[in-house]
Amino acid sequence: MFSRLNVGVLALQGDFERHLFRLSALKVSPREVRQKDDLSGLDGLIIPGGESTTLNLLIDRFDIRGKLAEFSAHKAVWGTCAGLIMLARQVNDPQIQTLGIIDISVVRNAYGRQVHSFYSIIEANLNGKMVPLEVSFIRAPIVKNYGNNIKVLAQYRGSPTLLSHQNCLVSSFHTELHDDLTLTKYFLENFVSVFK
Amino acid sequence: MNLADKDYKIRVGLAEMLKGGVIMDVVNAEQAKIAEQAGAVAVMALERVPADIRAEGGVARMADPQIIEAIQKTVTIPVMAKCRIGHFAEAEILQALEVDFIDESEVLTPADYKYHIDKWRFRVPFVCGCRNLGEALRRISEGAAMIRTKGEAGTGDISEAVKHLREINAAMKQLTVMSPEEINGVAKELAAPLSLVQLVAKTGKLPVPNFAAGGVATPADAALVMKLGAEAVFVGSGIFKSSNPEKRATAIVTATAQFNDPKIVAECSRGLGEAMKGMSAAGIPREDLLQIR
């Protein structure tokens, strides 16, 4: 069903491998995106978790920023954790220049250091149904503000954790570390297939 | 041992986030800032880099909490710190300081020559070194959330890291084609839990990320270990014992991220100044090797 979709995972640094693994489980043949030309012909892209300071430096160092911003403005894109930070309008860290794709403002490492990272099951509103998701928050960011046109699909203790706007999906948590394919499938069905 | 434990998955999760990156040894906040600006995914706080530990001798211990805290205040990337093998009191201190990862490291002088730390009872993830599959699986059974394949630290000689990466890869590959009886036999030989050996036989890889460490001094060294299957790179003395740490650190990050593109690795290798002088690991008497601890 998804085998005809061309989906990439930004693979400069971070947990790209887990995303590649989940995509493969859904019969997508994913592509590692390491250089700007790797974006050509893709229907969708995942920007994985990792270190946002490093990701920010590397997309400039390898001259990917322009093409990445252009792609993310029109095609399906899903940012998890550091990926959410990169897609945000604004982050509370002057070292990081975000891509400004989705109207959210974000605080980095908002739960604290690794000892405060945690596992949870949260309810997400996916296509009008409340669906439980197994998630990890790892040195995770918190979305502090978001524009009126942004959809909040899940929350944790009053903070939005899964949000979308048009072609863009962002989550402050990780589902790809667990055996749960729900959100990956949701991205392929409601974003990649739609914005082809 | 329960690899499906939710808290354990959180610990392994952070290791997943560091893949494709470079973790740099630093001894003060200034070096940590240089590392972060070069694109390091994490820094390892310690009192002396391995080359100095090797040169000066004496007992090498956990870093002063004051140094660790100064580094934590300076950078936003994860801060790791080393404790001595078996020294669970040092590990408890590091956990209280909220370091993001603890390296139970042979580079420091071991505190316990018989037992490693029981890492299951810590919330902070641990990384441990290994030279072969048996060591890797024993450390994982003790709760390590990341493995680093050991080179010979503080030498700037990559050969030992290469040797051990190749050995582990070969052992894992062999397992994937073995019969159940043979797998039982291997578990016994490796002195590793059968369930872990069976898991490796099924997947062909370790259940936690496997990084390379020890002897990385150039961008080409980083590219080499990545090509041999390491999922990220630790650099100890190689950066701050070179003539231009900023430039070398940046180049090693570049080479690690683009290890499959020799043109980029060539470009970033230009004009880096002198690499750490180093010493051949083959010339070190066995009793002075750090890796066998």
Long-range own/partner contacts, residues B226-232 (CB < 8 A, 24 or more apart):
B226/B256, B226/B259, B227/B259, B227/B260, B228/B162, B228/B165, B228/B166, B228/B169, B229/B165, B229/B169, B230/B149, B230/B165, B231/A17, B231/B19, B231/B20, B232/B18, B232/B19, B232/B20, B232/B21, B232/B22, B232/B23, B232/B41, B232/B256
CATH code that applies to domain A7-195: 3.40.50.880
Residue B275 CB coordination number (10 Å): 18
Read off the pLDDT of residues B72-86 as tens digits, 9 standing for 90 and up.
999 999 999 999 999
What pTM does this model have?
Answer: 0.96
CA distance A177 to A192: 21
B135 reaches A (C-beta below 8 A): no
Q: What is the pLDDT of residue A77?
A: 98
| Contact across the interface for B41 and A50, Cβ inside 8 Å | yes
Which of these, B168, B143, B204, B154, lies nearest to B51 by C-alpha position?
B154
Residues of A in contact with B19 (CB under 8 A): 13-17, 50
Q: What is the pLDDT of residue A117?
A: 98
Residue B103's pLDDT band, with cuts at 50, 70 and 90, is very high
Which residues of A, range 151-190, sit inside 8 Å of B by Cβ?
Answer: 174, 177-178
SS3 content of chain A, % helix, strand, coil (to 5): 30, 35, 40
Read off the pLDDT of residues A140-196 as tens digits, 9 standing for 90 and up.
999 999 999 999 999 999 999 999 999 999 999 999 999 889 999 999 999 999 998
Q: Provide the CA B132 distance to its chain's centre, in angstroms.
A: 14
B182 reaches A (C-beta below 8 A): no
Q: Give the one of A34, A49, A119 whose C-beta lies nearest to B9's C-beta.
A: A119
Mean pLDDT of the B164-193 span? 97
Cα Rg of chain A, angstroms: 15
Looking at the predicted structure, is the pLDDT value of residue B53 above 90? no
B52 compared with B269, residue with greater pLDDT? B269
Give the pair of three-digit tokens for residue B139.
């450390």
Cβ–Cβ under 8 Å, residues B31 and A25? no
Q: Where are the domains of chain A?
A: 7-195
| Contact across the interface for A138 and B14, Cβ inside 8 Å | yes
Looking at the predicted structure, is the pLDDT value of residue B44 above 90? yes
Supply the ipTM of this predicted assembly.
0.96
CA distance B252 to B226: 11
**Average of per-residue pLDDT values in chain A:** 97
Residue B287 CB coordination number (10 Å): 6
B91 reaches A (C-beta below 8 A): no
Per DSSP, the three-state class of B219 is helix
Looking at the predicted structure, is the pLDDT value of residue B292 above 90? no
B119: enclosing H helix or E strand: none
Q: What is the pLDDT of residue B153?
A: 82
CA distance B289 to A7: 47
Beta bridge partners, B127, equal: B103, B146
Residues of A in contact with B231 (CB under 8 A): 17
CA distance B31 to B14: 23
Beta-carbon pairs below 8 A across chains A and B: 113
A138 reaches B (C-beta below 8 A): yes
A74 catalytic, yes or no?
no
Read off the pLDDT of residues A72-98 as tens digits, 9 standing for 90 and up.
999 999 999 999 999 999 999 999 999
Which of B3, B7, B19 would you mutate first to test chain A, the one with the most A CBs within 10 A?
Answer: B19
Looking at the predicted structure, is the pLDDT value of residue B134 above 90? yes
